[in-house]
Amino acid sequence: MFSAARRTALRGAGSLPRPSSVFSHSLGPSALRRLLSSLAVLEQRDGKLNHGSLSAITAAKKLGGTVHGFVAGGNVKPVAEEAAKVEGVEKIIAVDNAAYDKGLPENYAPLLVENIKKGGYTHILVGHTAFGKSLFPRVAALLDSQQISDITAIESENTFVRPIYAGNAIATVESSDPIKVITLRGTAFPAAEVAGGSAAVEDGVDPNVESPTEWVSEDLAKSDRPDLATAGKVVSGGRGLKSKEDFDKIMLPLADTLGAAVGASRAAVDSGYADNSLQVGQTGKVVAPQLYLAVGISGAIQHLAGMKDSKVIAAINKDPEAPIFQVADVGLVGDLFEKVPELTEKLKSA
């Protein structure tokens, strides 16, 4: 457990990060805490901070030690200024360069590596999102560090908890790497609030590496409903909805009445009832809302992997033997085409 301290101490002395016993016995716990320093990588889009990505700061604060934030993109100052208001963050490193707007890992990874080296960080963290998943393993490879993916808890500065096998087992792992490269599950670390802090904003180093890939276009599903990954309530539809028309007719009024985000099972997505980005499960999004209402979803293990940490699970299904009822806090056996509109009406009038 002294490796992080060693590395930082040695780097401070300008030498290579090789294990040595010189420092390990002379440092007490308070010294260790001081030397532990984390960099939380934040996401931005079109000059707007992605608040969900602030969960990296929450996790960094749990580690103890100093916490810095990192953000890059064109005209990134307002984003950095906003992130600087998060309490407990000492510094926001900002790199103003439109080349990083789309988060291309080919130039973003070397950018991060340079800033990690300059800052002497022992831990780097990001959400286990599409951005984090494509970027961080590349960073880890460049640092020769074995990444720890999708953590749900921090036991100590080098010991982390993460689900494996679609959440059917929970592994506790101890890292021996000098720099811990970590992606984290957003639902396990609530986003830090943008209040109470006044961090300094500092320019980071920009190695200006050219990317062999270029961004061409994107097509984002437009929605006025809450974001699926962070919504307090989620209503999710499955194969039982039978068609896209029925999915929209049955699920959307229910979602709007509850102020909920809409999710879907893989079966519903594959059948074209709902957009891919709405998929909940091992291969889609992992959610943990206050209320998860599963409609016409049988409850395959891959789906449960994405929602079984929800506070309250409710299910409506016509099959009384559906596995979803084994995890649902409250289940209603019945025809969803009849029960869901009735539920929507009763919630409206309530």
The CB-side HSE value for 133 (13 A sphere, CA atoms) comes to: 10
Does residue 112 sit in helix, strand or coil? helix
**Closest CB to another protein among residues 84, 111:** 111
Residue 173: alpha-carbon gap to chain centroid: 19
Nearest-approach distance from CB 97 to another protein, in angstroms: 18
Give the tokens for residue 53: 């990505």
Q: Is 33 annotated as a binding residue?
A: no
Q: What's the farthest any 2 CA atoms get from each other in the chain?
A: 73
Nearest-approach distance from CB 22 to another protein, in angstroms: 23
**Closest CB to another protein among residues 67, 188:** 188
Q: Is 276 annotated as a binding residue?
A: no
Q: Is 138 annotated as a binding residue?
A: no
Q: Is 213 annotated as a binding residue?
A: no
Nearest-approach distance from CB 138 to another protein, in angstroms: 4
d(CA 231, CA 1): 37
Nearest-approach distance from CB 66 to another protein, in angstroms: 24
**Closest CB to another protein among residues 252, 291:** 291
Report residue 123: phi and psi, to 5°: -135, 135
Q: Is 300 annotated as a binding residue?
A: yes
Which secondary-structure segment (H or E) carries 11?
Answer: helix 3-12
d(CA 295, CA 284): 17
Q: Is 113 annotated as a binding residue?
A: no
Q: Is 277 annotated as a binding residue?
A: no
Nearest-approach distance from CB 266 to another protein, in angstroms: 7
Does residue 130 sit in helix, strand or coil? helix
**Closest CB to another protein among residues 194, 291:** 291
Report residue 193: phi and psi, to 5°: -80, 145
The burial of 201, by beta-carbon neighbours within 10 Å (0-12 exposed, 13-18 middle, 19 or more buried), is given as middle
**Closest CB to another protein among residues 34, 239:** 239
Residues annotated as binding site for FAD? 239, 265-266, 279-283, 296-303, 317
